[in-house]
């Protein structure tokens, strides 16, 4: 059964047509998620909304418990994640207000837990294609339906934050070929892959970072103004993309996102720590139980 997780701002769950809406508290072996999770239905589609920074935006990017967030969604049966993420633009042709369906990442974070697998069990999953092409196609198509064009593909560089980049860093990331910059999608995408959840980032551009000589350096007040302008379009995009994703889902992901652990766990069964088995009951239960 398909259940679509939406990670993003606290207003995303305010969609017209939602039914059976309620907040759920989910406990995880990795601690407390950013907030409760809002469960609801949109027609025949099950949705689970998680405010990434908590309601009221009280959790900074480095303090987000990414493992707890992904584990909690997995425990609720989430099969697909749309990550709605405000970001800066590193490209002239992506002005504020642009939307990008990201297909690659450059990870510059350094202070975050990056894996579920440790202390008794080791796994190595492939991150060559870190987002799901099936979800990306659904998002791009939904953008066409809602009048919000979504760029098909782009590289997102994730910085630690919470400070914005220096100008030298911003120019460096442009030289690397990145199109957008943000603080939250790594290790989120890595952990979704380890949890065998199909994952897609929708980057919503709020500013030109600080590389653009003809624009003011990024500041919070300007970001908030564009965020408010983007909010209605983001909700419309989710409302159109979610049923598309549910309708197009087969028994298994054609790109293998939901089967990566078949060949990833390197620790043999006899050497796996007991506490590791308990800790990974949701994330890796499919393969560990077999």
Catalytic amino acids?
207, 209
Does 86 carry a binding-site annotation? yes
Structure tokens at 18: 């939602």
Does 22 carry a binding-site annotation? no
Does 45 carry a binding-site annotation? no
Does 290 carry a binding-site annotation? no
- CB of 5 within 8 A of CB of 81? yes
Does 46 carry a binding-site annotation? no
Angle of CA points 47, 52, 53, to nearest 5°:
145
Does 184 carry a binding-site annotation? yes
Q: How far apart are CA 174 and CA 180, in angstroms?
A: 9
Does 208 carry a binding-site annotation? yes
- CB of 108 within 8 A of CB of 159? yes
**In the chain, which ranges are continuous DSSP H helix?**
66-75, 133-146, 167-175, 188-194, 220-248, 274-279, 285-288
Does 83 carry a binding-site annotation? no
Q: How buried is 216 (Cβ within 10 angstroms: 0-12 exposed, 13-18 middle, 19+ buried)?
A: exposed
- CB of 97 within 8 A of CB of 198? no
Q: What secondary structure letter does DSSP report for 6?
A: E
Q: What secondary structure letter does DSSP report for 63?
A: G
Torsion of CA 52, 66, 178, 242, to 10 degrees: -50
Non-local (6+) Cβ contacts of 88 within 8 A are 164, 165, 180, 181, 182, 205, 206, 207, 208, 209, 218
Could you tell me how far CA 119 lies from the centroid of its own chain?
25
- Which residues are annotated as part of the binding site for substrate? 183, 207-209
Q: Which residues are annotated as a binding site for phosphate?
A: 10, 52-53, 85-86, 184
Per the annotation, where are the binding residues?
Answer: 10, 52-53, 85-86, 183-184, 207-209
């Amino acid at each position: 059964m398909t259940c679509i997780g939406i990670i993003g701002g606290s207003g995303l769950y305010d969609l017209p047509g939602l039914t059976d809406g309620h907040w759920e508290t989910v406990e995880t072996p990795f601690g407390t998620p950013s907030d409760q999770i809002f469960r609801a239905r949109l027609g025949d589609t099950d949705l689970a909304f998680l405010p990434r920074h908590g309601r009221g935006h009280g959790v900074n990017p480095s303090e987000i418990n990414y493992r707890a967030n992904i584990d909690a969604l997995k425990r609720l049966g989430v099969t697909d994640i749309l990550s709605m993420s405000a970001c800066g633009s590193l490209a002239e042709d992506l002005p504020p207000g642009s939307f990008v369906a990201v297909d690659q990442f450059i990870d510059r974070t350094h202070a975050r837990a990056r894996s579920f697998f440790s202390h008794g069990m080791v796994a190595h999953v492939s991150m060559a294609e870190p987002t799901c092409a099936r979800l990306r196609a659904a998002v791009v198509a939904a953008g066409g339906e809602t009048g919000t064009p979504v760029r098909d593909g782009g590289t997102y560089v994730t910085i630690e934050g919470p400070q914005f980049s220096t100008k030298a860093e911003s120019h460096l990331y442009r030289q690397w070929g990145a199109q957008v910059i943000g603080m939250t999608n790594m290790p989120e995408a890595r952990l979704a892959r380890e949890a065998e959840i199909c994952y897609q980032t929708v980057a919503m551009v709020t500013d030109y970072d600080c590389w653009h000589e003809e624009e003011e350096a990024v500041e919070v007040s300007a970001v908030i103004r564009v965020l408010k302008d983007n909010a209605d379009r983001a909700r419309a995009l989710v409302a159109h993309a979610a049923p598309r994703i549910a309708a197009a889902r087969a028994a298994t992901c054609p790109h293998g996102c939901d089967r990566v652990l078949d060949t990833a766990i390197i620790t043999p069964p006899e050497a796996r720590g007991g506490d590791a088995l308990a800790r990974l009951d949701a994330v890796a239960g499919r393969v560990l139980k077999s």
